[in-house]
Structure formats: C-alpha cells, structure tokens
C-alpha cells in the first residue's frame, strides 16, 4: 500500500489537486493492487478484507492523499457495500468484478438540496413502470457522480404503514443520468463532487 502510494500517488497529487481531477488511470492502477475491491469477496475479484483491515488501508492512502481516499471509501463502502448487502445475484455478478478491478467507477447518490442522511425531505422518487422503474428529481454533493459508470441512487418508492417514506436503492447506469455540474469544494478538490439530474431515468 505504501509502495503504491509513494510510486503512483505522491509524485502527482499536487497537480491533481490543482487540476481538480483524479485521472482514470489512478483508479485502474488502484484496481490492480486491490484497492478498488477491498471489501468485495475474492470470488468477485476483490480482496475480501475485514472491515478493520479495510479501514487501515484507507488510512494509509489518506495519509498520502485525502482526495483519493475519499473516492476509494465511497466506491468500497457505499457502493460495493450496498450491492453486497442488498443486490441480487445477477447484480453482484454483473457489477462487482468490474468495480473490484477498477474497470468501473461507482457513485452513491443520496444527498439533495433539501435532504441529507436523515432522508425525511427526500424528493427524488421512483415510480414503477412497465418493464422497470423510472426515477425523477435532483441529487447534489454526489462523490464521483459525474464520472461513475454505475450509480447507487436512493429514491422514495412510497409510504410505509407508519407514514414514513419508503426508500429504495436503484442501480443506474451513467447514460441514464444528467450531470448538471461539478461542485467546487474548498478541500479535496480533485475528488469529483457533482450535482445530478434524473429525468425519467
């Protein structure tokens, strides 16, 4: 891990921060040493690390460059983690090998202009249509949102018996998402933080 960071991250991170972009090549390189699939089981091309070992690896990357560590955390914990916990067998077989090898980048779209992790005010909604689901509305502050090949999108799908929103997670391909803009940030500028629009996605 340290050798990877010293050789492939340290010489370039200052320029990446100035350019406000992480090149796709660094994710491909990270995939070759297992960083893109730390939590994914070995059967899907991952390392199958324990959560403690995963956190130790993230801390080492963050010691060298926080922007990259942030993207690795989102990719591994939120996206791969969500697919592992709740995805169907077909979804796991389709997505996890590509994600673990760094061939695909992922994003997890939760936050909205008026809703955060509490989700009570979430406006993004999914309606069941013939042959699938349709998503509409707006997400913001989505890490890797503009560059992710596959997105895990949280949307309302109805109301539960107690009156609370029923929320579901959807796997959405990048061609079904419109990127509104890359949001400027004061720190970790190379990490892509995007505003997204879903229109009949």
Q: What is the pLDDT of residue 25?
A: 96
Q: What's residue 75's pLDDT?
A: 97
**pLDDT at site 92:** 97
Q: Is 77 helix (H, G, I), strand (E, B) or coil?
A: helix
What pLDDT does residue 1 have?
A: 75
Quick one: CA dihedral 98, 100, 101, 107, positive or negative? positive
Find all residues with CB under 8 Å of 48, minimum gap 6, and list them: 39, 40, 41, 42
- Looking at residue 194, its pLDDT comes to 96
Contact 139, 109 (CB under 8 A): yes
Task: Please report where in the chains the tokens 């629009």 appear, as a residue.
Answer: 197
- Are 106 and 172 contacting, i.e. CB atoms less than 8 angstroms apart? no
pLDDT at 116: 78
Residues of the chain with pLDDT below 50 are none
Confidence at residue 77, expressed as pLDDT on a 0 to 100 scale: 95
- What's residue 148's pLDDT? 95
- Taking the C-alpha atoms of residue 186 and residue 197, their distance in angstroms, rounded to an integer, is 23
Query: Is the pTM of the predicted complex or chain greater than 0.85?
Result: yes
* 103-146 pLDDT tens trace: 999 999 999 988 877 777 889 999 998 888 999 999 999 999 99
């Amino acid at each position: 891990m340290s050798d990877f960071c010293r050789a492939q991250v340290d010489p370039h991170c200052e320029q990446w921060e100035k350019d406000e972009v992480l090149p796709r090549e660094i994710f491909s390189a990270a995939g070759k040493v297992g960083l893109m699939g730390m939590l994914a089981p070995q059967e899907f091309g991952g390392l199958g690390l324990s959560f403690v070992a995963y956190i130790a690896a993230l801390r080492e990357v963050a010691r060298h460059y926080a922007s990259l560590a942030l993207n690795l955390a989102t990719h591994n914990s939120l996206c791969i983690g969500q697919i592992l916990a709740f995805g169907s067998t077909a979804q796991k077989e389709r997505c996890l090998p590509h994600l673990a090898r760094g061939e695909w980048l992922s994003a997890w779209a939760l936050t909205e202009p008026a809703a955060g992790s509490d989700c009570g005010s979430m406006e993004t909604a999914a309606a069941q249509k013939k042959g699938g689901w349709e998503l509409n509305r707006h997400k913001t502050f989505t890490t890797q949102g503009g560059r992710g090949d596959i997105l895990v999108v949280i949307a309302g799908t109805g109301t539960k018996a107690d009156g609370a929103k029923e929320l579901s997670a959807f796997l959405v391909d990048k061609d079904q998402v419109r990127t509104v803009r890359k949001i400027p940030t004061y720190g970790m500028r190379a990490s892509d933080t995007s505003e997204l629009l879903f229109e009949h996605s």
